[in-house]
Amino acid sequence: MEGIAASRQGRRVVVIGGGIAGSLAAKLLQLDADVTLIDPKEYFEITWASLRSMVEPSFAERTVIDHTSYLKNGRVVTSPAINISETDVMTADGSVIGYDFLVIATGHNDLLPKTRQEKLSLYQADYEKIKSSGSVLIVGGGPSGVELAAEIAVDFPEKKVTLVHKGPRLLEFVGEKAADKAFDWLKSKKVEVILNQSVDLNSASDGNKTYRTSGGENIHADCHFLCVGKPLSSQWLSGTTLKDSLDGKGRVMVDEYLRIRGRTNVFAIGDITNIPEMKQGYIAESHASVAVKNIKVMMLGGKQKKMSTYKPGSEIAIVSLGRKDSVAQFPFVTVVGCLPGLIKSRDLFVGKTRKARGLNPKLVQG
Ligand SMILES: Cc1cc2nc3c(=O)[nH]c(=O)nc-3n(C[C@H](O)[C@H](O)[C@H](O)COP(=O)(O)OP(=O)(O)OC[C@H]3O[C@@H](n4cnc5c(N)ncnc54)[C@H](O)[C@@H]3O)c2cc1C
């Protein structure tokens, strides 16, 4: 017993945040380290599949995954982290968890619910709401708003869909060409797109059908969905020993090994980092792989020169437009239609994302 305890010394890894980056890091470390994953939810969700789940609730069976399904050799603490010291992480439920290595992957603040079953019920409720409405208002023209508008337009072509965005163009995280192509595609599916306006959501509620825009327009819709970006979840770090590691935008400053600058055993990965690159899940997964390699090197007492450095790769963004089409921005070309749709839109990378976590790509749960 003593031998086992001794051999595990220096191998306690705490991963904070069980999203795209944190779930992969925890999974990849679980056989080499004593892993604790901290997340406010009992499950990991493939974020970009959520819009499909709103029009096809059974889709969520494969995309909302209990942490315990892929982290069989680790421990899960279901509570948000609220503080960090040089040696421990504190969570809202009063747990104090010691670490030798820390991986911060808190990406974006996700709305609860806490359990997988509750989350599946929410998708069912969204679906019922869409199904029973003749007209739907979507507020927000980022990737969530555009993808939801497209999902509804394709699956329920008889419904009137209106998308209102306060900026001058859709999809501000990609170039203008991609945004224009998405705009034209939505128009071709009879989605009404209103730019440069916001909606006063207090002006109506679901069932009371008329919403007023900042431009004085009235929009008739039986229900609405608010699709605005989720804020970064880094505020909680501002009262901790890492408060000076945040830049002006609340992003965590990391070095080339993905360690927090000036720290030897604290890593940050995913959307929360200050690396100047597009914030994408496949990039967050590359961060996870690099951080895991480096933690393994350090656990074995390896020198810094054996560690891997992270270099931002080429930036690709694909926004799905329903079940067959998408608009894709590659480094030198932007394309729309069913060819780029072949890459993402049918399965939304769900099989691939499950496989990377050791799960059957097709099976639900486990
Ligand atoms: C509509 C849409 C479509 C997208 N499509 C794609 C795509 O096709 N391909 C792609 O690669 N990327 C895509 N993305 C981007 C991708 O979703 C993000 O880049 C990715 O989710 C970032 O992963 P992350 O692990 O850094 O953060 P997240 O996935 O946001 O995970 C953060 C986790 O941390 C947890 N957390 C937060 N605060 C705390 C706390 N205090 N304590 C403990 N845990 C905490 C959260 O509950 C969550 O589980 C899309 C995004 C959107 C919105």
Q: Three-class SS of residue 69?
A: helix
Distance from residue 218's CA to the centre of ligand 1 (Å): 34
Is the distance from the beta carbon of residue 280 to the nearest atom of ligand 1 less than 6 Å? yes
The pLDDT score that the predictor gives to residue 207 is 62
Pocket test for ligand 1, best of 99, 280, 321 (most atoms within 8 A of CB): 280
Distance from residue 222's CA to the centre of ligand 1 (Å): 30
Is the distance from the beta carbon of residue 141 to the nearest atom of ligand 1 less than 6 Å? no
Side-chain-side CA neighbours of 51 within 13 Å: the count stands at 29
Tell me the pairing of strands 160-164 and 135-139: parallel
| Structure tokens, 81 | 């982290």
Q: Which helix (H) or strand (E) holds 291?
A: helix 281-299
Contact 32, 13 (CB under 8 A): no
d(CA 185, CA 164): 16
User: Smallest Cα–Cα separation from 346: which of 335, 336, 338, 355?
Assistant: 338
- Over range 189-196, report the average pLDDT: 98
Relative to the CA of 20, which ligand 1 atom is closest? 25
Lowest mean pLDDT among 62-66, 67-71, 360-364: 360-364
| Structure tokens, 65 | 């995954």
| Structure tokens, 142 | 């980022």
Nearest CA to ligand 1 atom 50: 48
d(CA 281, CA 269): 11
In the predicted model, what is the mean pLDDT of the chain? 93
Q: What band does 29 get if pLDDT is binned at 50, 70 and 90? A: very high
Nearest CA to ligand 1 atom 37: 106
Q: What is the pLDDT of residues 77-100, one digit of tens each?
A: 999 999 999 999 999 999 999 999
Is the distance from the beta carbon of residue 76 to the nearest atom of ligand 1 less than 6 Å? no
Is the distance from the beta carbon of residue 282 to the nearest atom of ligand 1 less than 6 Å? yes
pLDDT at 7 over 80: no
Helices (H) and strands (E) in the chain, counts: 11, 20
- Over range 254-278, report the average pLDDT: 96
Pocket test for ligand 1, best of 97, 112, 271 (most atoms within 8 A of CB): 271
Q: What is the pLDDT of residues 287-346, one digit of tens each?
A: 999 999 999 999 999 888 899 999 997 889 999 999 999 999 999 999 999 999 999 989
CATH 3.40.1050.10 fits 2-40+79-111+230-311, yes or no: no
Pocket test for ligand 1, best of 36, 108, 252, 330 (most atoms within 8 A of CB): 108
* Mutual angle of helices 143-155 and 176-188, in 10-degree steps: 20
Lowest mean pLDDT among 67-76, 212-221, 250-259: 212-221
Note the pTM of the prediction, 2 decimals: 0.95
Is the distance from the beta carbon of residue 287 to the nearest atom of ligand 1 less than 6 Å? no
Kindly tell me the burial class for residue 335, based on how many C-beta atoms sit within 10 Å of its own C-beta (0-12, 13-18, 19 or more).
Answer: middle
Q: What is the pLDDT of residues 197-242, one digit of tens each?
A: 999 888 776 566 899 999 999 999 999 999 998 899 999 999 999 9
The pLDDT score that the predictor gives to residue 136 is 97
Relative to the CA of 23, which ligand 1 atom is closest? 25
Residue boundaries of the structural domains of the chain: 2-40+79-111+230-311
Instruction: Report the amino acid identity of residue 105.
Output: A
pLDDT at 366 over 70: no
The pLDDT score that the predictor gives to residue 69 is 97
The pLDDT score that the predictor gives to residue 154 is 98
